[in-house]
């Protein structure tokens, strides 16, 4: 855990969908799509942990986007040293261009 990491802090500032000992899933504060966050501070979870994170995110994304295909975006743009991944509907980036 890092004292100055927003993801380690895990403050509930948006909708929270799920929590367990490995992760939590909530809406990303910036893009407002479901995001899974590994509870351990680090950028590379082991494969078995990553599988669990994807399963949990997938369950939430299937509920949130029931008739829309979605994909996992694991590019950590703003917080590159704490693993998290987003569930993105198609054309997400095009919708948010100004």
Please report, for residues 7, 75, 77, the alpha-carbon distance to residue 82 in angstroms, rounded to integers and kept in the order given: 7, 11, 10
What are the pLDDT digits (tens) for 7-50? Answer: 998 889 899 999 999 999 999 999 899 999 999 999 999 999 99
- Residue 94's pLDDT is 54
Mean of pLDDT over the chain: 91
User: Are the C-beta atoms of residues 74 and 85 closer than 8 Å to each other?
Assistant: yes
Structural domain count of the chain: 1
In 10 A of CB 3, how many CB atoms? 7
CATH of the domain at 37: 3.30.428.10
User: Containing domain of residue 76, as a range?
Assistant: 6-95
Q: Read off the pTM.
A: 0.89
- What DSSP string describes 11-43? ---S-EEEE-SSEEEEE-TTT-SEEEEESSS-S
């Amino acid at each position: 855990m890092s004292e100055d990491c927003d993801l380690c802090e895990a403050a509930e500032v948006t909708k929270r969908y799920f929590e367990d000992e490995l992760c939590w899933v909530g809406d990303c504060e910036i893009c407002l799509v479901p995001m899974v966050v590994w509870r351990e501070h680090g950028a590379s979870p082991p494969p078995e942990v990553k599988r669990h994170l994807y399963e949990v995110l997938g369950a939430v994304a299937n509920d949130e986007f029931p008739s829309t295909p979605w994909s996992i975006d694991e590019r950590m743009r703003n917080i590159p040293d704490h693993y998290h991944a987003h569930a993105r509907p198609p054309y997400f980036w095009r919708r948010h261009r100004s």
